[in-house]
Amino acid sequence: MSSQKIVFFDLPSKEPCVAWSLNPWKTRLLLNYKGLDYETKWVEYPDIKPTLQPHIEPNDARWPYTIPAIKFPDQTWSQESRRIADLIEERYPEPSAHLDSPYQSRIEEVVPRAFRPLMAIGLNQIPKRLLNPTSVEYWMKDRTDMVGSDLAEHEAKNGGEAAFAKAAPALQEVTAMLKENPEGPFFSGKEVSYADFVWVSTLYFFQRIGDDVY
């Protein structure tokens, strides 16, 4: 008999193990909001492909297999945070995550503009502050190949105050969005939506890296 629990695949940190990665946080917040019964399986970076490949069609992207991933009680597997959100909303519609909120497309457009400049810092600091040794080796090779230079050199050139200056306009846009409905703390005022989870996940992510980034 299959388990009735959802299995949620997330990336571990060094001890004490905590959730830290942006995209898995979106799924974790949604699962918690829905009140769903789930267990977390921690997967180190080198183990992502072997864990997911037998069960999931690859992404059409730089990384064919990614975290978050999820296994539903009926043995259906999926990956990629927005795809997972759509499936969760379809299978467990109450309470609604309001994926059709007008703020959803807006926050999905603005967050990458804040995220990318600050990742000049994150790319170099994540392996130092968060990852276990088995994932550090994978990260250093993969991200060095991605940016085309040593990560410390990349941070020295693109991080610091320059990164915050580049991110500032997008961060100011989010602040303005949050003020549009002052009757509540969420983008839609008193009504929580998945757009809020996207933004909170971004904040959690940089907080986990360190106060100097957050």
Note the pTM of the prediction, 2 decimals.
Answer: 0.96
Question: Average pLDDT for consecutive 10-residue bins of the chain (214 residues)?
Answer: 86 97 99 98 99 96 96 98 99 98 98 96 97 98 97 97 97 98 97 98 96 74
Q: What is the CA radius of gyration of the chain?
A: 18
DSSP secondary structure letter of residue 9: E
As to burial, measured by CB atoms within 10 angstroms (0-12 exposed, 13-18 middle, 19+ buried), residue 19 is buried
CATH of domain 6-91: 3.40.30.10
Q: Where are the domains of the chain?
A: 6-91, 102-209
Specify the CATH class of 102-209 in words.
Answer: mainly alpha
Q: Could you give the CA distance from residue 173 to residue 130 in angstroms, rounded to a whole number?
A: 29
Q: Please report the pLDDT score of residue 179 as a whole number.
A: 97
Q: What is the pLDDT of residue 214?
A: 62
The pLDDT of residue 109? 98
pLDDT of residue 1: 47
DSSP one-letter string for 26-82: HHHHHHHHHT--EEEEE--GGGHHHHHTTTSPPPSSSSSS-S-EEE-TTS-EEESHH
Both structure tokens of 192: 């929580």
